[in-house]
Amino acid sequence: MITLNLLHPIEAIPIQTWTFESEPVIRIGRSGDNDVILYSSVVSRYHVEIHRHSLHWEIVNIGANGTYINDQQIDKERVENGIIFRLAATGPKLQILLDRSSPLTPSQQSTTNKSSTPVKPTDSRPTFMPRK
């Protein structure tokens, strides 16, 4: 299982959460057909993919404005539990939490908890809606 937390831009606490059980790829971006939808002017329609491999996960940047870990732009990076990445240099931050107790097997049933309310900014800076 993998959990993505959208972090508050100032307090760095989770304000929205998505949990995935067995998806081979998790897509993040502005487009409505992503698994995680974030409306921000700096987030690409298809910004990041998180790929499941047999023993680990990997973040892959596919967006025009880049993906950053520790203020360093990345193309691909292996996921470590608790890692925080940013979409674009000034965009939203997400944290990844891994559940090491459940094995990554393709036979698991998918139980995705997608948000019913996409996050939408009111200006060029990303703003976030709190989780209900």
Per run of 10 residues, the mean pLDDT along the chain (length 132 residues) is 96 95 96 97 98 96 97 97 97 93 42 44 43 43
* CA dist., res. 67 & res. 103, Å (int): 27
**CB 43, CB 91: distance < 8 Å:** yes
The pLDDT of residue 16 is 97
**CB 94, CB 87: distance < 8 Å:** yes
Where do the domains of the chain lie, and which CATH numbers do they carry? 2-98 (2.60.200.20)
The pLDDT of residue 101 is 59
**CB 124, CB 36: distance < 8 Å:** no
DSSP secondary structure string, the chain?
A: -EEEEEEPTTT--EEEEEEESS-SEEEEESSTTSSEEB--TTS-SS-EEEEE-SS-EEEEE-STT-EEETTEEESEEE--TT-EEEETTTS-EEEEEE-TTS---TTSPP-----SS-B--SSSS---PPP-
Model confidence, pTM: 0.76
The pLDDT of residue 126 is 45
The pLDDT of residue 22 is 86
